[in-house]
Amino acid sequence: MALLKVDNLHKHFGGLHAVNGVSFEVQKGTIKAVIGPNGAGKTTLFNLICGALPADSGTVAFAGRPILGMKPYQIAAAGISRTFQNIKMFPGMTALENVMVGLHTKSQAGFWAGMLHLPASRREEKKIRTRAYELLELLEITQFADIEARSLAFGQQRAVEFARALASDPPLLLLDEPAAGLNIYETAEVARLICKIQQQGITVLLVEHDMSLVMDISDEIVVLSFGQHIAEGTPREIQHNQEVIQIYLGE
Amino acid sequence: MTTKKLSALALLVAFMVGVQLTTHVTGTSYYLTQLTMTIYSCLLIIGLCLVMGYAGQISLGHAGFFAIGGYISAALTTFNFRPALEGGSSWVELLNTTGLFTSRTSMFGEPLLSVQPWIACLLAVSLTALIALLIGIPVLKLKGHYLAMATLGFGIIIFRIVLAMEIFGEADGISDVPGFTLLPGLTVNGNLDNRVVNYYIAAAFLISGFALLLNLIDSRVGRALRAIHGAEDAADAMGIDTARYKLYTFVLSAVFAAVAGVLLTHYSGGISPSDAGVMKSVRYVAIVAIGGMASLWGALTMGGLLNFLSLRGLFGSYDDAVFGAILIIIMLFAPEGVLRLKLWCKLKGHKEEG
Ligand SMILES: Nc1ncnc2c1ncn2[C@@H]1O[C@H](COP(=O)(O)OP(=O)(O)OP(=O)(O)O)[C@@H](O)[C@H]1O
Ligand SMILES: [Mg+2]
């Protein structure tokens, strides 16, 4: 079954047709990559799926349910989690606290409970903390728990961002250029982490420029160019697709 | 509560008690009046700090919320319903049987029938919350500093309303506001023999309000607010309903302002249009900024210090100008607040390295 189904999606920025009639599906449990030259509309596509930008037309269905038009927080609560091309750690918060924010949808305490520190909310706080720590364990970064996230190295921030995005137990994880700015060792590490995430039963849709990473870990690849869907297939098929080769050579 | 927070609060309590004892020992109890007024201002300021430092929004309407609290409570507790009752108004009669009213004599010896302070207070605070909700719902859905604009407009409207309406005393404001009996034996009023008690009533309100807010920022909601302030789109992606959190924070802080307005009005026995002025709102914003925006302790310290100095008349006729200047200087040189001055941090950093 397709977990995510994008159909004929359009987005204009003034005269620029940033996403031009894109359609594709992401099968449950797979890793799918979106590739394409700079400015192809990959990040815009993610922003449309997450509700961070309103689409002009088209549909997006998640687990059979249309989600276009929902607010970003509703889409997140519905089970789509994301990371950002330019890592967005919450400033002034430790790695652990960042992950604790990720557990927002998994907890309830509101204003009253927060102001009064009711026993129930204290218990919940403890649970949030324990779970956040487990997530740091999963991403193998417990040693950074109490360090301000923004002061960590890029690769470590990526791992924190993964942990934060995974905290809501999302069926679908969107990763925007997870290897951007990382050296080859860190990139290999990120590739390993993504596979580990997939093994947890999580479906992954990622945008990435690092071709060896994409070819290594993806089950399927979609190619965008100037907002348009150019090709789709397995890594092997994409590697041998004439049109794709042309786009990348002509760049 | 963590032990750290508890001991900090204990220190605050000790400080408040210490101040009172000092005035007692040194025979300077006359300071208590200005100290009590300062404490109520601080109640408003810590609420505003939540909006500015944690929801990342600026409100230029907090003097307006303060004024709604004070004016509604003052008008209801001073308006004389006796003529209407004697004139046979059936709805006043009906309300009278519900215990809504209380009888007293005015300072001119005239018999008065006016609304119970508790009822007046609840009405004033609920009305403030409602107005904050109505302003906040459309404005806080937008990203950016639209709240500053909207609350500035709101503040000006409130100022014009209290100046123009007879029921609010026009340019004179409202005086002869009765005391507010919170509990038997505990009355918020300006009687000299009640000065020490009133200092402690105010202190109790401030410390409880402060403890509530300290708890809040150290909770799931507080984390969400800090996340919104730090990176709003990332907070969205974590499933945080950012508009709702900003709205609730704004309403909560308006309620703090209204409560401060109600209590200070009953304490001073009156309220005047200058309390509703936009310059007052600017002053509150300046104080939160100098305290370091996202620092409840900073806001409290600066609020206490600057309000007290201002009430002592230190800034003379330049009072408003001083706060305007503070705001400009802070924005230019120490956007993190003076308690975290860049230079100071650098020196500290060097020391730690060396
Ligand atoms: N908010 C915006 N307003 C106007 N134009 C935008 C906006 N966001 C993106 N664009 C434009 O839309 C096009 C697609 O941008 P997008 O960021 O989606 O590309 P991308 O495929 O993610 O590129 P990259 O690989 O560099 O990250 C670009 O030409 C970009 O300049
Ligand atoms: Mg991009």
Task: Read off the pLDDT of residues A116-140 as tens digits, 9 standing for 90 and up.
Answer: 998 888 999 999 999 999 999 999 9
Q: Is residue A241 part of a domain?
A: yes
Residues whose CB is less than 8 angstroms from the CB of residue B177 and which lie 6 or more positions away in sequence, other chains included: B73, B74, B77, B78, B265, B266, B268, B269, B270, B271
For residues B158 and B68, is the Cβ–Cβ distance under 8 A?
yes
pLDDT bin (cut points 50, 70, 90) of residue B152 is very high
Q: Is residue A84 part of a domain?
A: no
Q: Cβ of B235 and A77 within 8 Å?
A: no
Q: A1 with A71, same domain?
A: yes
Q: Which of A9, A10, A12, A13 to mutate to test the pocket of ligand 1 (most atoms within 8 A of CB)?
A: A13
Contacts with B213 from chain A: Cβ below 8 Å = 115
Q: Is residue A149 part of a domain?
A: yes
Q: A95 with A72, same domain?
A: no
For residue A105, the one-letter residue type is: T
Identify the domain containing residue A68 by its residue range: 1-79+171-251
Q: A119 with A190, same domain?
A: no
Task: Read off the pLDDT of residues B209-264 as tens digits, 9 standing for 90 and up.
Answer: 999 999 999 999 999 999 998 899 999 999 999 999 999 999 999 999 999 999 99
Percent of chain B at pLDDT > 70 equals: 94
Q: Cβ of A72 and B236 within 8 Å?
A: yes
Pocket of ligand 1 (CB under 6 A): A 13, 16, 18, 36, 38-44, 85
Q: A122 with A98, same domain?
A: yes
Q: Which residue of B has its CA nearest to A94?
A: B223
Q: A189 with A211, same domain?
A: yes
Q: A189 with A162, same domain?
A: no
Q: A51 with A15, same domain?
A: yes
Q: A158 with A176, same domain?
A: no
Find tokens 């002034």 and name the residue. A92
pLDDT of residue B300: 93
Interface of B with A (CB under 8 A): 1, 212-213, 215-216, 219-224, 226-227, 230-231, 233-242, 248, 252, 294
Structural domains counted in chain A: 2
Q: A99 with A208, same domain?
A: no
Q: A33 with A56, same domain?
A: yes
Q: A160 with A179, same domain?
A: no
Is 80 exceeded by the pLDDT of residue B336? no
Q: Cβ of A73 and B219 within 8 Å?
A: no
Q: A75 with A176, same domain?
A: yes
What distance, in Å, lies between the first and last C-alpha atoms of chain B? 35
Task: Read off the pLDDT of residues B27-79 as tens digits, 9 standing for 90 and up.
Answer: 888 899 999 999 999 999 999 999 998 888 899 999 999 999 999 999 999 98
* Domain-terminating residue out of A134, A169, A204: A169
* Domain-terminating residue out of A169, A192, A216: A169
Q: Is residue A105 part of a domain?
A: yes
DSSP one-letter code for B49: H
CATH at A239: 3.40.50.300
* Domain-terminating residue out of A169, A188, A209: A169
d(CA B146, CA B57): 8
Q: Is residue A234 part of a domain?
A: yes
Question: In chain A, what are the helix, strand and coil shares in percent, each to the nearest 5?
Answer: 45, 25, 30
Instruction: Write down the CATH number for the domain with range B3-353.
Output: 1.10.3470
| Spatial CA neighbour of A28 closest among A220, A235, A228, A234 | A220
